[in-house]
């Protein structure tokens, strides 16, 4: 069994990765996992000034906006902009918007250690904020 890494071990490893003249996927993954302070997608500077849609389990305050986004989300022409892992919206008729709301809640809670962090931030700008870019997409 390997001994646990100490704080000094981590500092040394992170320092050596940063000083290297070349990039490798392995080093990038290690640095992303061990050398950053995790920050949630919701705190990304790209979301600064944006109003995140209400996404609590029973919160229907932004239902109309979620409904509009649901229409755009299900349009075939917008398939490439969908959130990874949420290809279709499920739920009883008229309630499909809730699966988008719930996925946004989960997405916004992910942090910088996630390999898809940059994509998650972009998807949150498309689907999870009041002036979402998704509202400008085609309906079909």
- Domain boundaries along the sequence of the chain: 1-35, 39-136
DSSP character string of 73-139:
HH-GGGGGGSPTT-SS--SSTT-THHHHHHHHHHHHH-BTTSTTHHHHHHHHHHHSBTT-GGGGS--
What pLDDT score does 83 carry? 95
Average pLDDT for 108-117? 92
**Reported pTM:** 0.81
In 10 A of CB 65, how many CB atoms? Answer: 19
What pLDDT score does 30 carry? 79
What pLDDT score does 29 carry? 78
* Rounded Cα gap, residues 130 and 35, in angstroms: 33
For residue range 73-99, what is the model confidence (pLDDT) as tens digits?
Answer: 999 999 999 999 998 898 888 899 999
For residue range 14-58, what is the model confidence (pLDDT) as tens digits?
Answer: 888 878 776 777 887 778 778 888 999 999 999 999 999 999 888
What pLDDT score does 22 carry? 67
């Amino acid at each position: 069994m390997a001994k646990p890494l100490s704080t000094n071990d981590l500092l040394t490893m992170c320092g050596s990765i940063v000083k290297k003249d070349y990039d490798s996927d392995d080093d990038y993954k290690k640095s992303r996992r061990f050398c950053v302070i995790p920050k949630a997608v919701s705190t990304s500077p790209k979301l600064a000034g944006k109003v995140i849609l209400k996404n609590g389990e029973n919160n229907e305050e932004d239902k109309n906006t979620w409904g509009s986004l649901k229409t755009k989300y299900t349009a075939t022409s917008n398939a490439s902009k969908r959130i990874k892992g949420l290809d279709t919206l499920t739920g009883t008729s008229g309630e499909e918007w809730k699966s988008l709301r719930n996925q946004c809640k989960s997405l916004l809670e992910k942090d910088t250690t996630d390999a898809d962090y940059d994509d998650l931030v972009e998807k949150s700008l498309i689907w999870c904020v009041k002036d979402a870019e998704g509202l400008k997409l085609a309906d079909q």
